[in-house]
Structure 1
Amino acid sequence: MPPHPLRTRSFRLLFAGRTLSLLGDAVIPAALALAVYEATGSTGALALVLACAVIPKLLLLPLGGVAGDRFNARTVALVTDVVRCLSQLLVGVELLSGEPRLWHIAVAEAIGGAAGAFAMPTVSPLITGTVQEAGRQKANALMGIAQSATRLGGPALAGVLIYTVGPGWAFVLDGASFAVSALLLAAVRVRRVPIEHRSLLADLKEGWGEVRSRDWYWTSLVAHAAWNGAAAVLMTLGPAIAVSELGGPGAWIAMLQTGAVGLLLGSLAASRARPKRPVLMANLGLATYALPLGLLALSAPAPLTIAAYGVAQAGLGFLSPIWETAVQQAIPAHALARVTSYDWLLSLGAMPLGYALAPPVAAAWGPAVPLAVAAVVVGVACAGTAAVPGVRRFGAGPPRLEHVQNEVYSP
């Protein structure tokens, strides 16, 4: 029986730092929306700031994957924590000044988004570098639980900060969380597999080759992209439907809170699950997102729709640790950051498409049409992976031996 991941000092430090930065990030969406709208009175200004945060992240994700594999993932993560600390502190100071300038906030969020592109692909290499293979599912589940718990508590903390000391302090808190995370990362020892120095293009091609050569991986990425696009449709149209047909704003809040609880319960379930076909089971769990989409399209009763959303989010909570463990088991350590960067790129890239298409389609044919289409797409894409031989055959199997002779430790 392998030791619990939290008994390993390096993972314990990593987990603490990750949890703090997740909590800091969880207060930002509400604080950013309110701060920008109060400063400008324009929803277009908020859209501009959000675009400045997302676009650099999407453009730079493949480069972030190369950096995570070519250099030490711990070093990359530490540097990005420092950069994001400074960018969020800049926004906080700007807001606390009483005369915030929109372009300052937009530039700071763009810098933070760019840093996020380099930080996101480092998570899996950091876990594989601090936890032995037999304990990685528990480690991934702990990360999922931390993310779920911070999503559940973050909005409440944001509300307390906004209504007591102002939204600027939410950004100061986020910046401080990244500073502490960087200090903790500095004490982490991480195993890594050095890779030979080649051209950037060669590194990108090798990472894509690892994705393309595994039918279970790239077909699952298509399913995950469909899920994220469908989630964008629901997030765009859901609030208006909740207000007009499900009983008012309280119904939407109840739906989001139920989803947060479902996400947490799914992560907890994944910490104990040992499915024989992990990729298949995880993708089938994602397919449940068709339920709330379909029920919203049919104007089903609020309690049924809210419960369905909780089930769907539990499927997401279950998928994340199971999927991360499967990827860490199957992808060579020297390519892990690049491969996961393509995962993030496809997943995040589908969301703007959902945001862009949902409103005009709803205006032309009614909101039921895009919701029903999204339900069919996500259900077929996720459940349809069962037809892929690699998805069906992928099993957890016995833990592989760690080939430590080719690994080095960061100082």
Structure 2
Amino acid sequence: MPLPVSHHTPESEPRPTPHPLRTRSFRLLFAGRSLSLLGDAAIPAALTLAVYLATGSTGALALVLACAMVPKLLLLPLGGVAGDRFNARTVALTTDLVRCVTQLFVGAELLSGTPALWQIAVAEAIGGAAGAFSMPTVSPLIRGTVDASGLLRANALMAVVSSTARIGGPAVAGALVLTAGPGWAFVLDGASFAVSATLLAVIDVRHVPIPRRPLLADLKEGWGEVRSRDWYWTSLIAHAVWNGAAAVLMTVGPALFLSDLGGKGVWVVFLQTGAVGLLLGSLVAGRVRTRRPVLTANLGGALYLLPLCLLAVHAPVAVCVTAYGIAMAGLGYLNPVWETAVQSAVPAHALARVTSYDWLLSLGATPLGYALAPLAASAWGAEVPLGAAGVLVGAACLATALVPGVRHFGAAAATVKPTAESTT
């Protein structure tokens, strides 16, 4: 059947969506986030080496890591409320300044040659608390600086930078630790937060003010936004299982590679292949449009079952490495597509709170994986927790296809009624 002839004039054709980087506010936001992400990516390696070299104790290292993680988990819902009550730019700028000070302090402690463990632990706890308020602001900042039609591309750009930082960050940390000392990695990170705060101070971010109410009412409203969307809370369960499975791999994987799969060099290749896959998946997400974004994103997450199950059955190393690259490409695709779906569907006035619950569930599953994996591995061998994690993550992600909201989520379902917004 012949297609109908269009009678639109050139003037009536929709204008192409401008690239997000052509927008000044997003361009400055992107620059600041890129610097802080690179600085942050160098910290885990530098912190673990610095604390262990200073104390020689894995218990001391666990204490410092717990001090950074626990406040973040406890305060995330409050961070979501703050991100919605106040302009996300103001909250993010404040937390950048706090994290700048804490990282510079840790850097100075390490450079002094006689670092005090308790002071580093306190600084990391303060930085973790600031992170709880910073993380829920990312989605409101992107949505407040980019038009709806450019959200996917903007999120993909952010994901590309995050993936690149994950590749380059450990290399930067290693170079600094070997040449100048781990303290300089913290100085670099602190400086990146100072630049990010400066850039945030000069951008405009659209903001939907919400009425002042009791804190509990704000928390309940945010949770109500999560619970009212079947595609959201069911996907969150799948994503939490994914993070728990990733914790299992990071816990028992190194020992398995050291004992049976070629040693630490192969483990490094395995991780770097995953980082490259993550980057490639992020690049694909910015170019591919799908009618069912939430479904395809969750199917990408299901690919993580491949390396877990292959490692559990001791498949050839090359196959396991390739499978991990493919699985992380699925994650690289999932992240920006998921962020765009949430930013498109959730009302602007509740976006930070909803995002905070997302982070809370995801981060909360990670310590569970860290705790259970060694117990299971010591009782039954590493193959059992790896295989179980693979089956669980595959089942959880694939099961979301049975949810009507996941299958039918698309452009029409993602439309949110416009709300009055103010620019600050």
TM-score (norm 2): 0.95
Q: 2:115 aligns with which of 100, 105, 129?
A: 100
1:202 to 2:202 alignment: no
Q: 2:105 aligns with which of 76, 87, 90?
A: 90
User: Letter of the aligned partner of 1:165 in structure 2?
Assistant: A
Change (3 A) 1:134 1:364: same
Q: What's 2:27 paired with?
A: 12
CA deviations 1:200-224 (Å, max 9, x no partner) are 0000000000000000000000000
DSSP-derived class of the 1:27 partner:
helix
User: Letter of the aligned partner of 1:64 in structure 2?
Assistant: G
DSSP-derived class of the 1:272 partner:
coil
TM superposition shift of 1:403: 3.4
Q: 2:329 aligns with which of 314, 318, 337?
A: 314
Count of residue pairs brought into register by the alignment: 409
Within a 5 Å distance, the mapping from 1:2-401 to structure 2 comes to: 2-397=17-412
User: Letter of the aligned partner of 2:291 in structure 1?
Assistant: K
Provide the rounded CA distance (Å) in 2 between the counterparts of 1:244 and 1:299.
12
Aligned structure 1 segments of 4 or more residues deviating by more than 2 angstroms = 396-404
Provide the rounded CA distance (Å) in 2 between the counterparts of 1:215 and 1:154.
37
Provide the rounded CA distance (Å) in 1 between the counterparts of 2:151 and 2:119.
41
Provide the rounded CA distance (Å) in 2 between the counterparts of 1:15 and 1:25.
15
Answer yes or no: is the 8 Å Cα contact 2:345–2:415 preserved in 1: no
1:409 to 2:386 alignment: no
User: CA-atom RMSD, angstroms?
Assistant: 1.1
CA deviations 1:297-348 (Å, max 9, x no partner) are 1111111000111011101100011000000111000000000000000000
Which runs of 5 or more residues in structure 1 are unaligned?
Answer: none
Provide the rounded CA distance (Å) in 2 between the counterparts of 1:129 and 1:46.
39
Which runs of 5 or more residues in structure 2 are unaligned?
Answer: 1-15
Change (3 A) 1:62 1:208: same
TM superposition shift of 1:402: 7.8
TM-score (norm 1): 0.98
Answer yes or no: is the 8 Å Cα contact 2:344–2:416 preserved in 1: no
TM superposition shift of 1:243: 1.2
Provide the rounded CA distance (Å) in 2 between the counterparts of 1:325 and 1:374.
27
Provide the rounded CA distance (Å) in 2 between the counterparts of 1:400 and 1:332.
10
Provide the rounded CA distance (Å) in 2 between the counterparts of 1:28 and 1:118.
19
Q: Greater shift after overlay, 392-401 or 218-227?
A: 392-401
State, as a whole percentage, how many aligned pairs show the same letter: 73
CA deviations 1:139-180 (Å, max 9, x no partner) are 000000000011111111111111110000000000000000
User: Letter of the aligned partner of 2:390 in structure 1?
Assistant: A
Q: Greater shift after overlay, 77-86 or 295-304?
A: 295-304
Provide the rounded CA distance (Å) in 2 between the counterparts of 1:403 and 1:335.
14
